[in-house]
Amino acid sequence: MRNATITGWGKCMPPAVLSNADIANFLDTDDEWITSRTGIRERRISHVSLETMGTVAAQRALACAGLDAERLDLIVFGTCSFDQQVPNTASGVQKRIGAVNAGAMDVNTACTSYLYGLTTAAAMISQGVVNNALVIGGELISPLMDWTDRGVAVLFGDGCAATVLQATDKDEGLRASKLGCYGEVREILLVHGMGQRYANRGWVNGDTQWVFEGQEIFKRAVVGMSQACQTVLDDCGMGPDDVDLVVPHQANLRIIEAVVKRAGVSMDRCFVNVHRYGNMSAATVPVALVEALEEGRIKPHANLLLTGFGGGLSWAAQMLRWGERVTPLGESDATLPPCERSGLEMVQGYLAAKHGSRE
Ligand code: UT7
């Protein structure tokens, strides 16, 4: 049996922090509301492009796996906030890391893009199409955020992480996947101002308006993720007690608690970092995976349950059996350029640039 296992991991978090108190400078909100409704205390605002974050995360993941970039056969970049539609972001990373033998594609299922990318790459490895793949989940949402809307502006942040996936004959790696989508309610999470249909209609690119039916998304997210988790547990003949760690999409602490409860797993077997970064869409699960490893929460041969939901409304879950190694083989010296501005200054810049553009 040819399996696909994670052998390298690396994150790239932009350094500028935007706290709940910072947001209260320009929106009618407060730390108490944001923390109690979502669990989020702060998020990051990137001063660099998505491609740059992806490149640094990729270099760290490759060093961790001890794999040269030339040995990659495939790069999958999961994102909905690509720098450019053509050429795609994966090809930019391919060029910058020198992965000259790799195919490169973007996958967009919003917040589940990394999970969809992971399943795609793992299936290609199992089929023998590729041997070594790099799966990235990254998002640069801050320039696309409607910073005048307190209903969404408090929820999101920027970030990126990458994982190296390699073929193995050992009994480890991705064991089951479930992908789904509630297309019939796709309009409950919709961003006006991104994409072709807005051209020639007076929209300035990035001056967005978000349709975001929070409570409906909340309910669908819990049902979709729970269904996906049950499916992969059943497929593996496993029960809740067999799960060593849940690594869920980090959108809202209350959603995470509801999903974990339905899965029959206690919160001490769930990794949470939503308080540090908010919802980074496609980046949440890979960043959580990296931090769980850094914090020693993933033991050799652990059974990990990954799950997420996002625009579409897409949802997904994977059962992943970790290998023996939980520490990096090497470290990369790749790093971001210094950031001269605070998170608040960058967001105020976006507000000023967009002000009045829709009138
Ligand atoms: O990856 C996909 C991302 N999607 C999600 O994560 C969405 C899932 N949904 C949620 O996380 C929650 O529904 C929210 C956090 C978005 C909202 O929480 P809620 O408990 O469902 O609040 P609500 O929408 O019922 O709003 C309650 C009140 C409203 O005021 P009134 O009408 O009761 O007077 C809102 O206007 O809270 C008000 N409100 C705020 N107040 C202070 C909404 N946003 C804010 C805010 N600060 N930022």
Tokens of 155: 């929820």
The whole-number pLDDT of residue 171 equals 96
In the numeric block, the tokens 């908010």 are attached to: 278
- Smallest Cα–Cα separation from 278: which of 154, 189, 111, 188? 154
The CATH number of residue 206's host domain is 3.40.47.10
Q: Is 237 exposed, middle or buried (0-12, 13-18, 19+ CB in 10 A)?
A: exposed
**Is 42 part of a structural domain of the chain?**
yes
**Is 262 part of a structural domain of the chain?**
yes
14, pLDDT greater than 60: yes
The whole-number pLDDT of residue 359 equals 45
Q: Is 286 exposed, middle or buried (0-12, 13-18, 19+ CB in 10 A)?
A: buried
244, pLDDT greater than 50: yes
Confidence label for 197 from pLDDT (cuts 50, 70 and 90)? confident
206, pLDDT greater than 80: no
Structural contact between residues 274 and 39, judged by C-beta atoms closer than 8 angstroms: yes
**Is 46 part of a structural domain of the chain?**
yes
129, pLDDT greater than 60: yes
The whole-number pLDDT of residue 353 equals 83
Average of per-residue pLDDT values in the chain? 95
Whether residue 232 has its Cβ less than 6 Å from ligand 1: no
Tokens of 194: 């991104």
Q: What is the pTM of this model?
A: 0.96
200, pLDDT greater than 90: no
Tens digit of each residue's pLDDT (9 = 90 or more) over 30-46: 999 999 999 999 999 99
Atom of ligand 1 nearest to the CA of 150: 48
Number of domains forming the structure of the chain: 1
Cα–ligand 1 centroid distance for 218 (angstroms): 10
The whole-number pLDDT of residue 335 equals 97
163, pLDDT greater than 80: yes
The whole-number pLDDT of residue 357 equals 56
Structural contact between residues 136 and 107, judged by C-beta atoms closer than 8 angstroms: no
Structural contact between residues 62 and 332, judged by C-beta atoms closer than 8 angstroms: yes
Cα–ligand 1 centroid distance for 155 (angstroms): 9
The whole-number pLDDT of residue 127 equals 96
CA distance 265 to 259: 9
Cα–ligand 1 centroid distance for 192 (angstroms): 19
- Considering only CA atoms, which residue is closest to atom 41 of ligand 1? 29
CA distance 245 to 4: 19
Structural contact between residues 181 and 312, judged by C-beta atoms closer than 8 angstroms: yes
Using N-to-C axis directions, what is the helix angle for 31-38 and 253-263, rounded to 10°?
A: 20
**Is 359 part of a structural domain of the chain?**
no
Tens digit of each residue's pLDDT (9 = 90 or more) over 70-84: 999 999 999 999 999
| Residue 192 annotated as catalytic | no
Three-state SS letters, 62-100 = HHHHCCCHHHCCEEEEECCCCCCCCCCHHHHHHHHHCCC
| Residue 64 annotated as catalytic | no
Q: Is 171 strand, coil or helix?
A: coil
**Is 238 part of a structural domain of the chain?**
yes
- Smallest Cα–Cα separation from 289: which of 108, 94, 135? 135
356, pLDDT greater than 60: no
Whether residue 136 has its Cβ less than 6 Å from ligand 1: no
The domain in which residue 246 lies consists of 3-354
Tokens of 324: 């023996």
Q: What number of CA atoms fall less than 13 Å from residue 39's CA on the CB side?
A: 16
**Is 151 part of a structural domain of the chain?**
yes
* Chain length of the chain: 359
Tens digit of each residue's pLDDT (9 = 90 or more) over 265-293: 999 999 999 999 999 999 999 999 999 99
The whole-number pLDDT of residue 136 equals 98
| Active-site hit among 64, 80, 111, 270 | 111
Query: Could you tell me which residues are beta bridge partners of residue 135?
Result: 76, 163
**Is 260 part of a structural domain of the chain?**
yes
The whole-number pLDDT of residue 318 equals 98
Confidence label for 358 from pLDDT (cuts 50, 70 and 90)? low
Tens digit of each residue's pLDDT (9 = 90 or more) over 281-324: 999 999 999 999 999 999 999 999 999 999 999 999 999 999 99
**Is 278 part of a structural domain of the chain?**
yes
